[in-house]
Amino acid sequence: MPELPEVETTLRGIAPHLRGVRIDRLLVRERRLRWPVPADTEHQVRGQRILELGRRGKYLLLELERGTILIHLGMSGSLRVLASHIPPAKHDHLDLCLRDGSCLRMRDPRRFGVFLWTPEPPADHPLLAHLGPEPLESGFDGDYLYGRARGRRCAVKTFIMDADLVVGVGNIYANESLFRAGIHPARPCNRIGRERYRRLAAEIRGVLTSAIDQGGTTLRDFVRDDGGPGYFVRSLKVYGRAGEPCPRCGKPIRRRRIGQRSSFYCPRCQS
């Protein structure tokens, strides 16, 4: 599933091509995404200008003159900006055709993505209203994490991946942040002190910022044509490295399941 750095990189890639351009039409080849694309969506967005692009968690937001398009890439989705006349490939389910002759094409082999239009403020939409703060904006810090952890017992990795607590800390970046903060991913979240949470919050910010700057860990979700790996994959310290030596102490990295997700950690450096 695309994580926050990948979604942010997608946003930065497509924004210059879409901002200020008027929509000619919406061409839907397959409505059966995670939620079916409503039948009136084509009528609602036709002729509107794309005023601005933004992001809330892993949702991309296309602000129009009379509403907002919400896009989520699901488990396997990707976006491309290309000429409208280029024939669609398999799993190219949707084209947002623009009056400059280009289109935003959505590919989604597993059909877990989202393409919805809302006339209401996007912050009020049921898919977004419950989301926690953005990790790179004010409102997220160690004191916030410490306060929210009181009275909870789940593993700290599960805790920081809860979108109701903070959005966008996916599996890869949770593993990396906990390693850099020296915290074992299975440690109960209510057994971590305030100072350790302050360090963890700083590491989450640092890891996500670096990943965004380096294009994330994969570029399959983006407008770029090469489809090559994101540079941040070269910076991963523990994720996907089970059995390899810890970059700090040399002890083999371990892998275990926590909250139904693979977790990677150093048994010596993380406690």
For residues 149 and 190, what is the distance between their CA atoms, to the nearest angstrom?
Answer: 5
Q: Which of 198, 199, 205, 261 is catalytic?
A: 261
* Packing angle of the helix pair 4-18, 194-213 (nearest 10 deg): 40
> If you write DSSP's letter for every residue of 112-142 in order, what string do you get?
--EEEEESS-GGGSTTTTT----TTSTT-SH
State the DSSP H helix or E strand holding residue 59, giving kind and residue range, or none if neither.
strand 59-64
Least Cα distance to 116 among 36, 229, 176 occurs for 36
Least Cα distance to 157 among 264, 32, 1 occurs for 264
User: CA separation (Å) from 107 to 65, 94, 250?
Assistant: 25, 7, 42
Question: Is 2 designated active site?
Answer: yes
For residues 86 and 164, what is the distance between their CA atoms, to the nearest angstrom?
Answer: 40
User: CA separation (Å) from 40 to 7, 217, 253?
Assistant: 27, 36, 52
Q: Which of 2, 122, 135, 185 is catalytic?
A: 2
Q: Which of 3, 8, 176, 203 is catalytic?
A: 3
Sequence letter at residue 246: C
Q: Which of 5, 55, 56, 58 is catalytic?
A: 58
Question: Is 261 designated active site?
Answer: yes
Question: Is 58 designated active site?
Answer: yes
For residues 220 and 267, what is the distance between their CA atoms, to the nearest angstrom?
Answer: 33
Residues forming the active site: 2-3, 58, 261
